[in-house]
Structure 1
Amino acid sequence: IGLHAPKSAADIVLISHGHFDHANGVKFVAKEDATILKEKSGEWEEKGVKIRGVYSYHDESRGRERGGNVIYVFEVDGIRFCHLGDLGHILTSDQVERIGDVDVLFVPVGGTYTIDAKGATEIVEMLKPKIVIPMHFKIGGLSLPISGVEPFLEGKENVERVDSSEYEVTKETLPEKTKIVVLRL
């Protein structure tokens, strides 16, 4: 896909779907004793982290084109994170209910293989997170035919571009009004 996997040392690795461009990167991000959860729906706790997997699809055809996708909701230090994975459709009311309250939402915005900017905006309005982190968009060096982050940001308020691939969030720093944080990748 034109990019190199980042090095990391994760204790828990959540894999939303089994495509080569995602599941193949475990060796780059997992510690030797990491817990690796691949496409797992349901509720459980791993290493003190509450995790919920909500089944969804990688396309608008109930998985017929690209298969399934698991949305992961997890809580750390009282903050609820939701990673939509490679979501390819607008959430159903049942999925919204199972996801529940969200403080930090990771949402794909690039389209083609996932929801696009318009779909991402609709999902943000449905889930009403405190912080939105757009993902799965075109950056330099990426060879996939997807859109950049700009169409998603168009007309949005409260956008912060961070010159880092990391962003610290605490319960105390969660904004009252939804904030979009664009990380440097």
Structure 2
Amino acid sequence: MMFRYFGYAFVAIVLLHLIATDRVFAQALSPPSPAVDRPVSQCQAIAEAVPGVSFASAAPATLPLVFAQARRNEEVSITYLGHSTFLIETPGGVSIATDFNGYNRPAAAPTVATMNKAHSSHYTLTPDPAIRHVLHGWGDAGKAADHHLMVGDAYVRNVPTDIRSRGGAMEANGNSIFIFEVAGLCIGHLGHLHHELTDSHYAAIGRLDVVMVPVDGGLTMGAESMSRVVTRLRSALILPMHRRGPPIDRFLSMFGAGFDHRFGDSDRITVSLRNLPEKPLIYILKGV
């Protein structure tokens, strides 16, 4: 009976996964009307089906099923612009700037700018009018931000988290983890994360192949707390950011033999499903 149960569960997960990825593929070709349909997350679907699941890396050697999500050997470019701002460039020509503050910015206005309000170094109230989509990580009137944006070949969504106010009290849903689904990859930016995540957060996030992590050692969270979050996410590629104060070695020392680390000689990295490291890699881009 137990084997039969697990067999049914496995079949259900595979079917849900395939249905979700087919819908995402169709939506990339023909974006849905916001009033009629909402994009389906290829990174989140299985997490919702199995509460409490802990995702493994989607490196090709460990999870071949993920190849169904990629239409071609598409590559995503990620460039570190400074502080918590990365420029993500998709195969379809969409550009996304994370925690956009107006001064760590690319040469041309991005298609999408995501923001968080911890400090002015994470947002601007006067963004370039040429930016087509400005997404705040905080909501209005006490409500959580809720973004589900399909733009070109990228799907952008958010998972709200709490944030520490200047007085030290926690403000509910004041920050967002933004997730970018493109070329079969699940790319996450933790923003100005101030607390460890719950099982509900992990389920809402789903799988992250690439994660951008603040490593300031205390302005967001201490290195030990942040290392626990990174370990639980089990991303294939970890990109440190928001490094102020302690040396990067302190963050690296929190991880054992299960993680590799490398210092890049460039502020840019090109990622695809097929070149994800099989062993989790903490990759420090130039400028961090």
TM-score (norm 2): 0.54
Matched, 1:79 2:185: yes
Quick one: structure 1 residues 68 and 111, their matched pair in 2 at CA, closer, same or farther if it must change by over 3 Å? farther
Q: What stretches of structure 1 move > 3 A for 4+ residues in a row?
A: 3-7, 59-62
Of the three residues 152, 158, 165, the one matched with 2:251 is 152
**Counterpart secondary structure, 1:159:** strand
How many pairs does the alignment contain? 172
Query: Residues 1-185 of structure 1: matches in 2 within 5 Å?
Result: 5-8=103-106, 9=108, 10-17=110-117, 19-24=119-124, 27=127, 32-39=130-137, 40-59=145-164, 61-63=169-171, 68-138=174-244, 146-154=245-253, 156=255, 157-185=259-287
Report which stretch shifted further, 103-112 or 93-102. Answer: 103-112
Cα separation, 2, equivalents of 1:167 and 1:56 = 28
- Gaps of at least 5 residues in structure 1 are 139-145
Give the Å deviation of 1:38. Answer: 1.0
- Asked if 1 retains the 8 angstrom alpha-carbon contact of 2:267 and 2:286, the reply is yes
Report which stretch shifted further, 99-108 or 116-125. Answer: 116-125
Q: Which structure's CA Rg is the greater one?
A: 2
Give the Å deviation of 1:135. Answer: 1.1
**Counterpart secondary structure, 2:204:** helix
Give the Å deviation of 1:32. Answer: 1.6
Quick one: structure 1 residues 18 and 89, their matched pair in 2 at CA, closer, same or farther if it must change by over 3 Å? closer
**Counterpart secondary structure, 1:58:** strand
TM-score (norm 1): 0.82
- Asked if 2 retains the 8 angstrom alpha-carbon contact of 1:57 and 1:68, the reply is yes
Cα separation, 2, equivalents of 1:166 and 1:26 = 27
**Counterpart secondary structure, 2:112:** strand
Greater share of helix: 2
**Counterpart secondary structure, 1:94:** helix
Quick one: structure 1 residues 25 and 181, their matched pair in 2 at CA, closer, same or farther if it must change by over 3 Å? farther
Give the Å deviation of 1:61. Answer: 4.8
- Gaps of at least 5 residues in structure 2 are 1-82, 84-101, 138-144
Cα separation, 2, equivalents of 1:135 and 1:25 = 22
Q: Greater relative contact order: 1 or 2 (C-alpha under 8 angstroms, separation 6 or more)?
A: 2
Once the two structures are aligned, what percentage of the paired residues are identical? 27
Quick one: structure 1 residues 172 and 148, their matched pair in 2 at CA, closer, same or farther if it must change by over 3 Å? same
1:15-61: CA deviation from partner (whole Å, max 9, x where unpaired): 1336311112974xx68243111123243323332122111022385
